[in-house]
Amino acid sequence: MSSQTYSISDLARELDITTRAIRFYEEQGLLSPERRGQERIYSPRDKVTLKLILRGKRIGFSLAECRELIELYDPSGGNTKQLNSMLAKISERREQLEQQLLDIEQMKLELDTAEERCVQALEQTLKSQQIAQ
């Protein structure tokens, strides 16, 4: 009858995160472990939820986006809504990253130009000082 359960330290160790992070996600309403006195008892679903949060964070999703995806989870419905939403978010995130790459390339060009001007100005200053001597 009893499915596997996890303590907070079990999950922290298994997923390589801090117990503080797990408590934070609990405070945010993303996890709802059972309580035995002061002890938190996490279910396999809590573990899956944590994995989804961590995966979402790794690919740049906000906590709100992670929450949205988790709330769409519906194993009886084949998760179509969740998967479509995930695909849309991945596409959106990819577009953001592409824009960031363009912005970084532009910034590098501007740094190159500024550096070149500084080097030229420094060379001019040194030449002027040598002539003055």
Q: Is residue 108 part of a domain?
A: no
Q: What is the CATH classification number for the domain harbouring 23?
A: 1.10.1660.10
Spatial distance between the Cα atoms of 130 and 124, rounded to a whole number of angstroms: 10
Residues 70-93: what's their mean pLDDT? Answer: 82
pTM of the model: 0.69
- Number of domains present in the structure of the chain: 1
> Domain span at residue 25?
1-62
Q: Is residue 25 part of a domain?
A: yes
Query: Residue 1's pLDDT is what?
Result: 41
Spatial distance between the Cα atoms of 59 and 21, rounded to a whole number of angstroms: 18
- Residue 40 pairs in a beta bridge with 35
DSSP 4: P
DSSP 45: H
Least confident of 35-39, 74-78, 88-92, 97-101: 74-78
In 3D space, the residue among 32, 108, 95 whose CA is nearest the CA of residue 60 turns out to be 95
Q: Is 87 within 8 Å of 95 (Cβ atoms)?
A: no
Q: Is residue 36 part of a domain?
A: yes
pLDDT-derived band at 71, boundaries 50, 70, 90: confident
Q: Is residue 125 part of a domain?
A: no
